[in-house]
């Protein structure tokens, strides 16, 4: 939990230049920050680089961090969001198929037919996700891909839980519609 006494203690120690405390914060949050960036960029190498930049900026600015009712992770996600915007503005990014990247990260031992079906489904879900607004994508990625609770997402995006649930509801509805259209189109194009 982000508001735990332990996280607050680690942040306070890190603010006083305790490298070990900052390292523990890094260990607690790196996977979530990396996952968020990866799903926004679709490129594992770039996501690793940007995640590293997030923690470098956090280290450089932690002495200025103040508790203002939002969790420490909200601060990290804001840094990540700003760096992602910078990444896309730089026009240096290379478009990468996120489904290909995900396969490179995971070999689950399925046979070729199951792998092909899984690949098709993953690719279509990624296409559908890209049709959502940035806020909806952010909520869906944090909630369902990273596995954060609605409360954690709300604090990370600086919204109340009701607003997060509304964004989530609209996003799921939009995804259902897009995926339904993709499914119908795929079945209409089958040759029998």
Local mean pLDDT, 10-residue blocks, the chain (192 residues): 79 92 94 88 87 94 86 89 83 50 52 55 72 85 81 83 91 83 65 46
pLDDT of residue 115: 52
Report the alpha-carbon distance of residue 138 to residue 40 in Å, rounded. Answer: 8
Q: Does domain 1-96 have CATH number 1.10.1740.10?
A: yes
**pLDDT tens-digit map of 146-177:** 778 888 888 878 889 999 999 988 988 888 88
Q: What is the pLDDT of residue 2?
A: 55
Contacts of 69 (CB under 8 A, 6+ apart): none
What pLDDT, on a 0 to 100 scale, did the predictor assign at position 97? Answer: 47
**Amino acid 127: pLDDT:** 75
pLDDT score of 9: 94
What b-and-e string marks burial along 57-95, b requiring 16 or more CB atoms within 10 Å of the CB?
ebbeebeeeeeeebbbbbbbbebbbebbeebeeeeeeee
CATH topology (fold) of 105-192 = Arc Repressor Mutant, subunit A (1.10.10)
Where are the domains positioned within the chain?
A: 1-96, 105-192
């Amino acid at each position: 939990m982000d508001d735990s006494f332990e996280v607050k203690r680690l942040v306070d120690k890190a603010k006083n230049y305790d490298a070990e405390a900052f390292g523990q914060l890094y260990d607690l949050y790196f996977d979530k920050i990396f996952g968020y960036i990866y799903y926004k960029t679709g490129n594992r190498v770039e996501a690793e680089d940007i995640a590293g930049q997030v923690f470098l900026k956090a280290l450089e600015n932690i002495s200025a961090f103040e508790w203002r009712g939002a969790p420490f992770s909200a601060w990290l996600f804001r840094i990540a969001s700003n760096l992602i915007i910078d990444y896309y503005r730089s026009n240096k990014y290379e478009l990468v198929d996120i489904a290909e990247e995900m396969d490179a990260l995971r070999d689950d031992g399925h046979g070729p037919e199951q792998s092909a079906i899984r690949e098709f489904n993953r690719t279509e879900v990624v296409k559908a996700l890209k049709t959502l607004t940035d806020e909806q994508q952010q909520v869906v990625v944090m909630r369902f891909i990273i596995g954060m609770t609605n409360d954690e997402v709300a604090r990370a995006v600086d919204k109340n839980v009701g607003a997060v649930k509304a964004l989530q509801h609209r996003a799921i509805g939009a995804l259902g519609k897009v995926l339904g259209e993709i499914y119908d189109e795929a079945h209409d194009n089958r040759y029998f």
